[in-house]
């Protein structure tokens, strides 16, 4: 893997990026000490659509927000 110092990276950034895109990653160093590795960006795989993925497949009851209220109240009040 090619090592370049910061000044050289600034001077030749476009060329270095093009090489990275073509599969040749490089390391930017400061005073000979490696600081960062530059590699081509690989987009993540297209994740499954999560929001609304069950739309039309489920039916939510009208009283959904209040279902089980009596049982829950009984548990908290000590009545069973």
Give me the pLDDT at residue 27, please.
97
Contact 63, 38 (CB under 8 A): no
For the stretch 23-77, pLDDT in tens is 999 999 999 999 999 999 998 888 767 788 788 898 888 999 999 999 999 999 8
* Dist. CA 5–CA 22, nearest whole Å: 21
Q: What is the pTM of this model?
A: 0.54
Distance of alpha carbon 12 from alpha carbon 6, whole angstroms: 10
pLDDT at 80: 61
Q: What average pLDDT does the structure give for the chain?
A: 90
SS3 24: coil
């Amino acid at each position: 893997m090619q090592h370049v110092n910061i000044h050289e990276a600034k001077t030749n950034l476009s060329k270095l990026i093009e090489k990275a895109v073509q599969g040749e990653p490089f390391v930017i160093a400061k005073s000979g000490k490696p600081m960062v590795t530059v590699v081509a960006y690989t987009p993540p795989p297209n994740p499954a659509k999560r929001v609304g993925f069950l739309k039309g497949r489920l039916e939510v009851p009208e009283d959904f927000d209040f279902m089980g209220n009596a049982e829950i109240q009984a548990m908290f009040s000590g009545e069973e």
